[in-house]
Amino acid sequence: MLALLVGGADAAKPNVLVIVADDLGYHDVGFQGSKEIPTPHLDKLAAQGVRCTNGYVSHPFCSPTRAGMMSGRYQHRFGHENNPAWLPESLTEGLPLSVVTFPALMKQAGYVTGAVGKWHLGAHPQFHPMKRGFDEYFGALGGGHAYFPSGSKSVEYGIPLNRNGKDEAQTGYLTEQFGDEAAAFVGRHTGGDKPWMLYLAFNAPHTPLEAPEAWLEKFKHIENSSRRTYAAMVAAMDEAIGKVMAKVEAEGERENTMVFFVSDNGGPNLEKKSGTNFTDNTPLRGAKGDLYEGGVRVPFLVSWPAKIKPGTYEEPVIALDFLATSLAAAGESALAPKDLDGVNLLPFLTGEASGVPHETLFWRSGGFGGKHSVRRGNWKLVSGAAKAYELYDLGADVGEVKDLAEAKPEVVGELVAAIREWEKGTVEPVFAGLGAVKAKAKKGKK
């Protein structure tokens, strides 16, 4: 069902709120069908907007996905294909300085810009959010953080929080703090002479699995302790989102605030030894790190009540589209770089445009010799575990169970050729990343 355009064409530039969850399972929110984890605030957001049932991110794990969102381009085009290590002295482990960013373009469009939450796009001061287009920042600069004050011995997960370039002590449960800070940003900048753009990037429900007792008590019926804590973390994140949206409503800005919501990748499978998994990616195959649907297909919402009626949209879309869509909503499409891979979704979500936003979507993990996948229409080609490629018809087999590669060699050939053509516009990773640092440390211990 397509949403329909509503409201006048001369409305004021909308506020833009981009909300990112971290490692959220595909089936772990109410609007995706979960009966186990209530998410009333996200469900309300879904009811006010468009649920994109074939919504993707551009990578199966954290930082590269964020680099894609911040640029509107496949991160493979500028070499951000790994998670950067926490190396504050490194001038390379982070979002390359040559990349023109989403917030920098929104500032050119007349917006005040802010970021709250997880950054994970470089530890050196040159990569700080306020050097990359944000007017304000509060959050954790690394790839994760302890949820309670003094809760981690890890250097990266135990660093002080950062407010506008200065260290600041953590004072409470981190998810709640991020919600409070985001709501405060909305309050500070509503009613001024500029619209606002806010990037709210939770580290929840990423590990470490930590939740307040009050939330754990609500899920005491869940026997698996990891699943119980994870559910409490998702619920706490939903509550924080509700606080931000309540502030938007209280300020009279809900109608003209465009909200995007995604997870940065699929839910992880972190309990392989026990045979259990505390995230739920039903009905998808795979998890975080995989190029099967469970690694890159995510809960995906777009809401702008002044312009788009609620509904569902079934054609493939990707988080790379947020930048072009936001500039178009602001009436500033001319600012969009010519090399964007993302597209303006508005005419598709309103039904003004026929066809599809993307003929083909691509994924790669590990550089030119790594894993690949591509989707064109309902055909999905994946680098196989046991053979070069597997082929699936997602229209009939969303769980990627029946491999059709042998039955459809012509489709395999077409999609392999598409990957090779796409790769001509990509580069090898420009930094080794966290995995390489861990491997070196492990080797040194032997």
Q: What's the one-letter identity of residue 153?
A: K
Class of domain 360-445: alpha beta
Confidence grade of residue 28 (pLDDT, cut at 50, 70, 90)? very high
Other Cβ atoms within 10 Å of 100 Cβ, number: 19
Burial category of 376 from C-beta neighbours within 10 Å (exposed 0-12, middle 13-18, buried 19 and up): middle
Name the residue with higher pLDDT: 344 or 385: 344
For residue 341, give every residue at least 6 positions away whose Cβ sits within 8 Å of its Cβ, in sequence order, or none: 72, 73, 74, 77, 320
Confidence grade of residue 441 (pLDDT, cut at 50, 70, 90)? low
Domains of the chain, residue spans: 15-350, 360-445
pLDDT at 9 over 70: no
pLDDT at 1 over 50: no
| CATH number, span 15-350 | 3.40.720.10
For residue 115, give every residue at least 6 positions away whose Cβ sits within 8 Å of its Cβ, in sequence order, or none: 103, 129, 134, 136, 137, 138, 139, 198, 199, 200, 201
Residue 185 contacts residue 196 (beta carbons within 8 Å):
yes
pTM for the structure as a whole: 0.95
Q: In the chain, what are the helix, strand and coil shares in percent, each to the nearest 5? A: 30, 20, 50
pLDDT at 4 over 50: no
Confidence grade of residue 443 (pLDDT, cut at 50, 70, 90)? low
Tokens of 102: 């989403």
pLDDT of amino acid 439: 63
Tokens of 213: 């007792």
Tokens of 230: 């994870």
Q: What is the DSSP letter of 11?
A: P
Mean pLDDT, rounded, for 416-424? 97
Tokens of 281: 């990616």
pLDDT at 10 over 70: no
Confidence grade of residue 334 (pLDDT, cut at 50, 70, 90)? very high
Closest to 241 in 3D by CA, of 263, 223, 209: 263
Residue 47 contacts residue 310 (beta carbons within 8 Å):
yes
Q: Is the peptide bond before 268 cis (omega within 30 degrees of 0)?
A: no
Other Cβ atoms within 10 Å of 216 Cβ, number: 18
Among the residue ranges 62-66, 214-218, 266-270, the one predicted with the least confidence is: 266-270
pLDDT of amino acid 152: 79
Tens of pLDDT, residues 134-180: 999 999 999 999 999 987 778 899 999 999 999 999 999 999 999 99
Name the residue with higher pLDDT: 99 or 437: 99
pLDDT of amino acid 154: 87
Residue 254 contacts residue 245 (beta carbons within 8 Å):
yes
373: three-class secondary structure by DSSP: strand
pLDDT at 274 over 70: no
Residue 54 contacts residue 314 (beta carbons within 8 Å):
yes
pLDDT at 62 over 70: yes
